[in-house]
């Protein structure tokens, strides 16, 4: 009897190990996603439909892109609280370029991505040069980016009337698949390769695990960190571009508190808040969990205030579980 | 010409003068013990050699090349390796990732995606290295943080030896080890000397230092207090130099 139980535990551990190391997805998060979908399907007759499925995917794209950024940064034992604000700021800059300045439509893309990358670069430079903790620098950027976005937008309102090619990025449906979903899929695959297979990713995870080890082995820690924050800003800019294209407006209030959801998605997906462990595919599962949760609560007509409470609760719970696991691995 | 030559190395941390004009050299294939009281500057001196600290003044030459302005990673490429007292391991990463940290071999994935870390080659080479050291490790796929102190030490040593170093600096390599493991580290040091690899051994265990070194250099208050031939000295004399009673 005892032998049987042991072998079940051992089988479970091997399965976990396989998902963790080969597929880079935490088995538990897949189970949570499955249980969540099942629950919603039972509770709401509208949940199980192709159109609702596409709805969930579409609603998850913005958070999904931000969750990729959060995963890269958390893996390096950093933190980027400015994701949501930079999203809003980038959208405003993109819309400003093509609507108010009346520059050709590609400038909307360049503007949004450039604004995001710039904000990220400023974050990275301040963190590496001044040694002010990332928490404070990106918290400052959270305020600054939001404020600058509101300043740029006329009367702090949204900038409407984007050119058709830009709107296509948010609303187009080649082969019936929403463009944002395609963009997210491509970005996620590239980011997954970068974090889990490239040298850049290996160094990022090593730095997040032990900065001393990274330094001792000659990994250039400061330039790497600067690149990561710039990349994080660039991804927030991309999320801003997608968001802007979807709603056909550069809205300076867009992305408010999205960093909370994005960081939660990353941590649910198996990325450690303490660095050294991260998975993009896991973050996608995490983002889907958040998406299904929000979609389900909407279908069940639960007030949106409760959604905020649910997201906050899930974040705390996910970090608690992560802490228990990390404590086990970090003891030397 | 020595393999490693330091002249007038000076290092200040704020108002504290840690190294005060240190002259120090190591011949190729020799084992030099670096001893001194806590705070004498041993670790600081070695970190200026690996490039982790920039010195304020002085000259460091390795293989007749000045090391000024050369980054830690490049110094490793030239053959300077150090095993740190705290081991400097990434504890959530597996054995191969730690051994190849900063020097991961790459290949093209699927024939066209560049810069992909060659994990299979890393694992195979890591296993070979661990076997060469005659060490026992539960599994090279597990995070090294789950290993015992001695096993982690083995990984740190393997990292230092995998890329054909010319000089290996060991900072208290036996402090956390059981008696039998200490023996194997000492054996390893002798083996490195036979292969022509120079070793600098920092240790408080003077018995070990007397046993394996060719020379013993005593550092005291940031200065070289004595440079002794191990065969021609005794533990008592070394201790006197360390405490400044000679």
Cβ neighbors of A37 (< 8 A, separation 6 or more) are A47, A292
Do residues A73 and A79 make contact, with C-beta atoms less than 8 angstroms apart?
yes
The residue behind tokens 């070194």 is B213
Residue-range domain boundaries for chain B = 1-79+164-246, 88-163
CA dihedral B129, B135, B138, B141 (to 10 degrees): -20
Instruction: Give the residue with greater pLDDT, A13 vs B199.
Output: B199
> Per the CB < 8 Å rule, is A193 touching B113?
yes
Write out the two tokens for B179: 């008696």
Considering only the C-alpha atoms of chain A, give the largest distance between any 2 of them, rounded to a whole number of Å. Answer: 75
Name the B residues in 30-59 with CB < 8 Å from any A CB: 50, 52
The C-alpha atoms of residue B79 and residue A283 are separated, in whole angstroms, by 40
Least confident segment among A1-10, A60-69, A97-106, A284-293 = A1-10
- Radius of gyration (Cα) for chain B, nearest Å? 19
> Per the CB < 8 Å rule, is A218 touching B104?
no
> Per the CB < 8 Å rule, is B104 touching A220?
no
DSSP letter for A82, please: T
Q: Give the DSSP H/E element, type plus range, for residue A165.
A: helix A164-171
Do residues B163 and B76 make contact, with C-beta atoms less than 8 angstroms apart?
yes
Q: Which residues of A touch B50 (CB under 8 A)?
A: 216
B41: left (phi over 0), alpha (psi -120 to 50) or beta: left
In this complex, the residue of B82, B91, B115 whose CB is nearest that of residue A332 is B91
Least confident segment among A28-42, A206-220, A315-329, B75-89 = A315-329
Q: Is the minimum CB–CB distance between B124 and chain A shorter than 8 Å?
A: no
- Which among B125, B103, B185, B126 has a CA at the least distance from the CA of B150? B185
pLDDT by position in tens, chain B (length 246)? 799 999 999 999 999 999 999 999 999 999 999 999 998 999 999 999 999 999 999 999 999 999 999 999 999 999 999 999 899 999 999 999 999 999 999 998 888 888 899 999 999 999 999 988 888 888 888 899 989 888 999 999 999 999 999 999 999 988 878 888 888 899 999 999 999 999 999 999 999 999 999 999 999 999 999 999 999 999 999 999 999 887
- Establish, for the pair of chains A and B, how many residue pairs have beta carbons separated by less than 8 Å: 97
Q: What is the pLDDT of residues B71-102, one digit of tens each?
A: 999 999 999 999 998 999 999 999 999 999 99
The C-alpha atoms of residue A88 and residue A112 are separated, in whole angstroms, by 10
Q: What is the CATH number of domain B1-79+164-246?
A: 3.40.50.300
- Which among A199, A317, A20, A217 has a CA at the least distance from the CA of B81? A217
- Which among B75, B60, B46, B58 has a CA at the least distance from the CA of B172? B46
Q: Is B44 exposed, middle or buried (0-12, 13-18, 19+ CB in 10 A)?
A: buried
The C-alpha atoms of residue A35 and residue A292 are separated, in whole angstroms, by 11
Q: Is the minimum CB–CB distance between B179 and chain A shorter than 8 Å?
A: no
CA A167 to chain centre: 22
> Per the CB < 8 Å rule, is A217 touching B74?
no
Q: How many CA atoms lie within 13 A of B138 on its CB side?
A: 12
In this complex, the residue of B82, B91, B104 whose CB is nearest that of residue A209 is B91
Spatial strand order in the sheet of B57-62: B16-26, B4-13, B57-62, B65-66
Min CA distance, B99 vs chain A (Å)? 10
Class of domain A51-324: mainly alpha
ipTM of the complex in this document: 0.91
Residue-range domain boundaries for chain A = 51-324
Q: Is the minimum CB–CB distance between B177 and chain A shorter than 8 Å?
A: no
pTM: 0.92
Write out the two tokens for A125: 């430079």
Q: How confident is the model at residue A332 (pLDDT cuts 50, 70, 90)?
A: very low
Q: Is the minimum CB–CB distance between A22 and chain B shorter than 8 Å?
A: no
Q: Identify the sign of the CA torsion A143, A146, A150, A156.
A: negative
């Amino acid at each position: 009897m005892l032998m049987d139980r042991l072998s079940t535990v051992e089988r479970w551990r091997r399965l976990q190990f396989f998902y963790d190391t080969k597929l880079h997805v935490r088995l538990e998060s897949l189970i949570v996603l499955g249980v969540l979908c099942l629950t919603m399907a039972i509770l709401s007759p509208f949940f199980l439909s192709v159109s609702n499925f596409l709805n969930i995917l579409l609603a998850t794209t913005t958070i999904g892109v931000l969750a990729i950024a959060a995963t890269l940064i958390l893996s390096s034992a950093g933190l980027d609280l400015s994701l949501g604000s930079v999203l809003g700021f980038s959208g405003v800059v993109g819309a400003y370029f093509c609507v108010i300045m009346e520059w050709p439509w590609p400038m909307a893309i360049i503007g949004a991505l450039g604004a995001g990358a710039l904000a990220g670069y400023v974050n990275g430079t301040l963190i590496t040069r001044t040694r002010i903790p990332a928490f404070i620098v990106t918290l400052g950027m959270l305020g600054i980016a939001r404020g600058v976005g509101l300043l740029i937008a006329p009367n702090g309102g949204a900038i409407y009337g984007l050119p058709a090619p830009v709107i296509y990025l948010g609303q187009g449906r080649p082969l019936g698949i929403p463009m944002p979903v395609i963009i997210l899929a491509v970005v996620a695959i590239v980011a997954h390769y970068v974090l889990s297979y490239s040298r850049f990713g290996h160094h990022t995870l090593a730095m997040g695990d032990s900065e001393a080890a990274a330094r001792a082995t000659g990994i250039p820690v400061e330039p790497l960190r600067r690149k990561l924050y710039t990349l994080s800003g660039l991804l927030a800019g991309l999320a801003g571009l997608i968001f802007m294209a979807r709603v056909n407006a550069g809205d300076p209030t867009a992305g408010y508190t999205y960093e909370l959801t994005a960081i939660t998605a990353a941590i649910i997906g198996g990325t450690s808040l303490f660095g050294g462990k991260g998975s993009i595919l896991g973050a996608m599962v995490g983002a889907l969990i958040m998406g299904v949760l929000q979609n389900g609560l909407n279908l069940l007509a639960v007030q949106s205030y409760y959604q905020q409470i649910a997201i906050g609760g899930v974040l705390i719970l996910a970090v608690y579980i992560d802490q228990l696991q990390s404590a086990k691995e970090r003891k030397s | 010409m020595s393999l490693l030559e330091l002249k007038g190395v000076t290092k200040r941390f704020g108002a504290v003068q840690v190294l005060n004009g240190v002259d120090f050299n190591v011949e190729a294939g020799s084992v030099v013990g670096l001893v001194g009281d806590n705070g004498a500057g041993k670790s600081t001196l070695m970190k200026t050699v690996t490039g982790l600290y920039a010195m304020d003044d002085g000259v460091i030459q390795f293989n007749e090349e000045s090391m000024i302005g050369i980054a830690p990673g490049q110094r490793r490429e030239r053959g300077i390796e150090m095993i740190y007292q705290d081991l400097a391991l990434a504890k959530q990463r597996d054995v191969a990732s730690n051994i190849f940290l900063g020097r991961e071999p790459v290949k093209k994935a699927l024939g066209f995606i560049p810069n992909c870390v060659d994990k299979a080659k890393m694992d195979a080479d890591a296993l070979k290295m661990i076997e060469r050291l005659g060490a026992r490790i539960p599994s090279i796929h597990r995070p090294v943080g789950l290993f015992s102190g001695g096993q982690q030490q083995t990984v740190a040593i393997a990292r230092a030896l995998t890329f054909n170093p010319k000089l290996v600096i060991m900072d208290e390599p036996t402090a956390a080890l059981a008696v039998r493991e200490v023996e194997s580290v000492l054996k390893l040091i002798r083996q490195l000397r036979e292969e022509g690899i120079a070793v600098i051994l920092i240790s408080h265990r003077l018995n070990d230092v007397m046993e394996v070194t060719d020379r013993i250099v005593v550092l005291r208050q940031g200065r070289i207090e004595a440079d002794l031939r191990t065969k021609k000295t005794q533990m008592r004399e070394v201790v006197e130099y360390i405490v400044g009673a000679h």
